[in-house]
Every structure is written in structure tokens, then in C-alpha cells.
Amino acid sequence: MLDDLKHYKKVVGVKQSTKAIENGIVAKVFIAKDCEQRVVRGIIELCEKQSLPITYVDSMKQLGKACGIEVEAAVACILK
């Protein structure tokens, strides 16, 4: 499932993900389990409102690596 992040158009990070979800262009959301809940609470609420599937990833480091970046990531989204 994380391989999808390498093959499809995506956005990474809380701000970009929030904008993409609000604009209705997201197909799937990935959230790191070890990120602070206050950081992703708004994204989780948006996903629930729009019935978007959320996949939880073990760590921010793992999510960042799956996105092809060298830093940790709390959230990433695959775009439609």
C-alpha cells in the first residue's frame, strides 16, 4: 500500500494535505501513527466528513521514506 505513494501523484505534509482534502482532489490518506494527534486531528475530521479512507503507517520516518523524501512526514495523500 505504501508503494502507491511512489507511483501516483501525491501531496506531503499537513498544510498541503488539508488543502487537497478541502478541494476534493484526494483519493487516499496516509497518517503516521507516531505523530502528535493535535497535528492531524483536523485532517482526520475532514476525512471522516468526506468518507476518505485513512491508512495508518507505523512511523513518520517510514512515511517520509515511502514518499521519497529524506525527512519525516506526518501525513501524505494520493491525489485523484
Distances (CA, A) of 44 to 56, 63, 75: 11, 17, 10
Is 12:76 a contact under the CB 8 Å cutoff? yes
Output the pLDDT for position 3.
87
* pLDDT tens digit at each of 80 positions of the chain: 888 898 999 999 999 999 999 999 999 999 999 999 999 999 999 999 999 999 999 999 999 999 999 999 999 999 99
Output the pLDDT for position 45.
98
Domain ranges of the chain: 4-79
Output the pLDDT for position 68.
94
Domain 4-79: CATH superfamily, name plus number: Ribosomal protein L30/S12 (3.30.1330.30)
